[in-house]
Amino acid sequence: MQGRGCPMSAPVSLQAVVEELDMLSDESFAYLHLPTGEIVTLTREELEAAEREADLAAYPDWQQEAIRQAQDLLASGAAKR
């Protein structure tokens, strides 16, 4: 049964959530991407870059992908600051 207008999400492993939370630091945040069930970990820097729509070319390739994920989460409302 779906609740409160939220789309059904993919199954999520509780063990995966616990492991991800154990690895977080004061400068990182974990979000659950509901459509895929993926746990996305982002740094404060990546979230701030996504919020201000920073030029991705100023970041290394691996961080560009993280910023794109942050943009997707912000657009979906999953990541609110």
- Quote the pTM value: 0.68
pLDDT (tens digit per residue) in 21-49: 777 778 888 887 777 778 888 999 999 99
Structure confidence by residue, pLDDT tens digits, 40-80: 889 999 999 999 999 999 999 999 999 999 998 888 876 65
Residue 58 lies in a domain: yes
CB 27 within 8 A of CB 43: yes
8 within domain boundaries: no
Domain extent for 64:
14-76
Query: What's the pLDDT score for residue 1?
Result: 43
Question: In the numeric block, which tokens belong to residue 39?
Answer: 């746990």
Is residue 47 within 8 A of residue 70, CB to CB? The reply is: yes
54 vs 16, higher pLDDT: 54
Q: What is the number of domains present in the chain?
A: 1
**What CA–CA distance (Å, rounded) separates 57 from 51?**
16
Structural domain contains residue 37: yes
